[in-house]
Amino acid sequence: MNKVRFIYNPYSGENAILHELDMITKLHQDKGYQIVPYRIQKNKSLEEAFDVMDEYYRYILIAGGDGTVDSVVNAMKARNIDLPIAILPVGTANDFATFLKMPRDVKKACKAILSTKPTAIDIGKINDKYFINVASSGLFTDVSQKTDLNLKNTIGKLAYYIKGFEEIPKFRKLKVKLKAKELEYEGEMYLILVFNGQTAGGFKLANRADTRDGHLDVIMIKAVQIYEMLPLFIKILRGEHLDSDKVIYFKTEDIIIESNEDIVTDIDGEKGPEFPLHIQCIKGGIKILGIK
């Protein structure tokens, strides 16, 4: 029998996936697949989820948010497992799955997964780690890391916004150096994001990104005057910010980012590596089910 390794995060999105396990199993059994579940546990390496893998496994089914998907992809790469993935977006942050137009309804998502063939899409690599949606640094980028899990599960994305307001007193200019084939920059910024997907925190920031073009989309918010931030935010809401002179935007396959500031990096809501950062686009780096 064909098998599916089902890796699920029981802590994601008010534990929603726990009520769907039987339905997920039945839908797969009806199509001739045996579901082999693995429950993510805190402080345990995800690589052990792949100890049972054999030639009968056809894909990896992931239930969780962007951070969960990242963790699974990194564990797969560490084990050299080249199987398609499929995403059930049940986390607080599902920016990448939303970009791919995966249904939030678990039953509809399963049906989409079971009725499509694998599609190769790009992924990002930051130093020695992989990411699916966005790598970032600067102001507010560690909000997700600092937000209490129980609060996220209770009020969802609103928890991020509340935590973001708490970070406003730390607002300051940050020195950074970028080096890519397309552009070099040395100066001050507030925030830099390197997208494979399009959205972060529910905001569609990289609206020209394409996961099949072999490029990442770099967006840097310059250190402008505070009074210039409101007009820029309005442009962001309208999707007009990429052409603003307050923003540096370009596509690249490879970029190096350096900074001596005391700031962290973030990969889809999880802590990223230390500077300097070498970020690359891995064209067709993973195959995925459920999209057309």
Q: Among all residues, which ones are annotated catalytic?
A: 270
Q: Which two tokens stand for residue 64?
A: 């969780």
Of 92, 66, 75, 87, nearest to 12 (Cα)? 92
Q: In whole angstroms, what is the distance from residue 139 CA to residue 191 CA?
A: 6
235 contacts 229 by C-beta, under 8 angstroms: no
Q: Which residues pair with 203 in a beta bridge?
A: 200
